[in-house]
Amino acid sequence: MKRRVLISAAMALFLNACASAPPPEPAAPAPPPPPAAFDPTGTYDFTVSAQGMEIGGVMVIQGSAAAGYTGTVETEMGGGSMANVVVEGQTMTFSLTEVGMDAELEFEGDEFSGFLAGGMGDADIFGVKRSGG
């Protein structure tokens, strides 16, 4: 009888040792969500620098990624409507057909920098989004 109890106890310990496997590896963390799509809409004050001159202006961008973007650019020397607006990542390109210029802007937060190119030459452009705009 003692032998049977010892064998039963040994079997119980053996089975318990076999049944206890190491704990499973923790699951890999979920990948971070993709960044929100960039939305350039708003009102921006900007400065164009060309040939030693600086000209201030206001750019208004409206619309959405689904419906497309539109906008206007106004300076003390005139302005026009944005055409062929394309937003890819943080970069926006458009044409100002009234003045024969193309623009490429790189946005970072509420600021942008870029260039204008056209028949009157090239120019650098820098802008800041208005608060609440």
pTM of the model: 0.72
Q: Domain holding 70: CATH number?
A: 2.40.128.120
Q: Which domain holds residue 75?
A: 42-129
H/E stretch holding 43 reads strand 42-50
Flag whether 16 is in a domain. Answer: no
Flag whether 24 is in a domain. Answer: no
pLDDT averages per 10-residue partition of the chain, 133 residues: 52 55 79 80 95 94 94 90 94 92 95 91 94 77
Flag whether 79 is in a domain. Answer: yes
Cα gap 12→19, rounded to integer Å: 10
DSSP state of 130: P
Number of structural domains found in the chain:
1
Flag whether 28 is in a domain. Answer: no
**Environment class of 75 (CB within 10 Å of its CB; exposed 0-12, middle 13-18, buried 19+):** middle
Flag whether 66 is in a domain. Answer: yes
